[in-house]
Amino acid sequence: MPTKTLITAGCRSQSVPGPDEMPQSFETAEDLDARSEWNDLRPRPTQPQLFTLNDSSTADVTLRDAVYFKGLSTNLNPAIP
């Protein structure tokens, strides 16, 4: 059964460190309604990037001469027409 509780501003928590790491402390800046079902939230590992024609100056594919990727493990494969 899901539970809900109030964590008041100023409460401290601490991360569980991995091997050879130091714990990190955190403090709530404002009151937080916490729920037990939020323990099951998983981050999205990827975020789609949309490049369109004339959508905006930052996304317009016709205005770009290069696209840069961060990281070594991008799982990209060359497109074969």
- pLDDT values of the chain reduced to their tens digit, one per residue, 81 residues: 778 999 999 999 999 999 999 999 999 999 999 998 888 888 777 777 666 666 555 666 667 677 777 766 777 766 665
Q: Does some domain include residue 77?
A: no
d(CA 25, CA 13): 6
d(CA 74, CA 46): 10
Q: Does some domain include residue 75?
A: no
**Global pTM value:** 0.42
* 3-class DSSP assignment, residue 60: strand
Contact between 4 and 33 under an 8 Å Cβ cutoff? The reply is yes
Q: Does some domain include residue 70?
A: no
Residue-level pLDDT at 18: 92
Number of domains in the chain: 1
Q: Does some domain include residue 73?
A: no
d(CA 74, CA 68): 11
What is the token pair recorded at 2? 């899901």
